[in-house]
Amino acid sequence: MATGHKNLSSFDKKVLPSMASKRIGIVCSEWNEAVTGALLTGAIETLTEIGIEKKDIHLSHVPGTFELPLGAQRLAQLNDLDAIICLGCVIQGETRHFDFICQAAADGIMRVGLQYDKPVIFGVLTTENQQQALDRCGGKHGNKGVEAALTAIKMLG
């Protein structure tokens, strides 16, 4: 993950494995759409830049981050997908809701990957405020959507 000291969103596509025949699923939360839309754009641009055709990217939307695991499971049931990227954003509020949603999403996404024995990538921002989210969806800390796509590629390589 990008930190205040490092931006992990840049990459050298020459060192990545070929993905020409791979099919990728992306499930994206509609909640915090300004942020998740930027994550989605970063992921798709990265996948196509390294050779995955747009027709081989299967996109699904869910209402919020809590629904990402079920969305990922439905995509995982499609046997022709090689990996799934989950994109979402949860911003800390004044209640413990943040903790429950983040933990449930992380656990659920991990379980789908283990159950279907394929990479299911956690591309969910869990930030303290809106500015931190913006910094991580194309701002000064890069784009976590790019990083999620790179993680999927590396797991398939």
pLDDT, tens only, 74-126: 999 987 999 999 999 999 977 788 889 999 999 999 999 999 999 999 999 99
14, part of any domain: no
Determine the Cα–Cα distance for residues 12 and 15; give it in Å rounded to an integer.
6
18 against 134, higher pLDDT? 134
pLDDT confidence of residue 13: 65
> What pLDDT, in 10s, does the model give residues 7-36?
656 666 677 767 778 999 999 999 999 999
Distance between CA 97 and CA 90 in Å, rounded? Answer: 10
Any domain includes 13:
no
Q: Given the residues 5, 61, 97, 141, select the one marked as catalytic.
A: 97
**Whole domain around residue 118: which residue ranges?**
19-156
12 belongs to a structural domain: no
* Beta bridge mates, 124: 88
Strands 120-127 and 83-91: parallel
Strands (DSSP E) found in 30-112:
57-62, 83-91
**Known active-site residue 97:** yes
Residue 119 lies in a domain: yes
Give the global pTM. 0.91
Question: How far is Cα of residue 10 from the mean position of the Cα atoms in its chain?
Answer: 16
Evaluate whether residue 124 is within a structural domain: yes
6 part of a folded domain = no
CATH number at residue 150: 3.40.50.960
- Reference 25, options 124, 149, 154, 155; nearest CA is 149
Is residue 7 one of the residues assigned to a domain? no
Residue 60 belongs to a domain: yes
The domain tally of the chain equals 1
